Amino acid sequence: MRLRRKPHIDEKLQSFTDFVTRGEVQPIVKDSSRELHVELGTGKGDFITQIAERNPQINFVGLEVEATCVLAAARKVREKNLGNVRLIVFDVENITEIFSAHEVDRLYINFCDPWPKKRHAKRRLTHARFLELYRKILKPDGEIFFKTDNRGLFDFSLEQFALAGLEVRDVTNDLHAAEPPENIRTEYENKFSAAGVPINFCIARFANG
């Protein structure tokens, strides 16, 4: 569900132009001495701010199409004074326009829209057509970390990963049953877990990587 756009959102984002952009990555993420991790659908920034705080040696970019969410995330980045985060108001559909070939080390897809209707399957961020875009920007050994509460989407995604030639590991349909200490919970993850909904998780990489 799309958030209702608040008045003057663009004006408010102007206060964060040192790390928030529309459709381009600022120079810090071009530092080849650092890994580059990208979150697809940053939402309000709970995940990216936590992981960036834990890993100051890694550059993080968050892509989010909803400017209202980007503003909320930007406030958290500023509050934590994170110099290794960039946020971009951007649609994942055009991801190859802002990242170079084989530039990204890792992609995070956390609780993306499941688009449950069959006719909308191609909109799912784990559909084969998106996977081909990710193949272009990921390094040969790059990985995709995927989490969702939606079992149907998870099973669909595993099928798409196999069709696209990805190897999958650490597959679980109940991540919190034996939650690894490095797991960072998102806002949605806490919400679903509290409601007793199990969390699905896996890590995928292209077999020819």
170 carries an active-site annotation: no
Using alpha carbons, select from 104, 103, 165 the residue that is nearest to residue 132.
165
Question: 10, 31, 46, 113: which one is catalytic?
Answer: 113
Q: CB-based contacts of 190: which residues, under 8 Å, 6+ apart?
A: none
Q: Report the alpha-carbon distance of residue 64 to residue 61 in Å, rounded.
A: 10
Q: Would you name the residues annotated as active-site residues?
A: 113
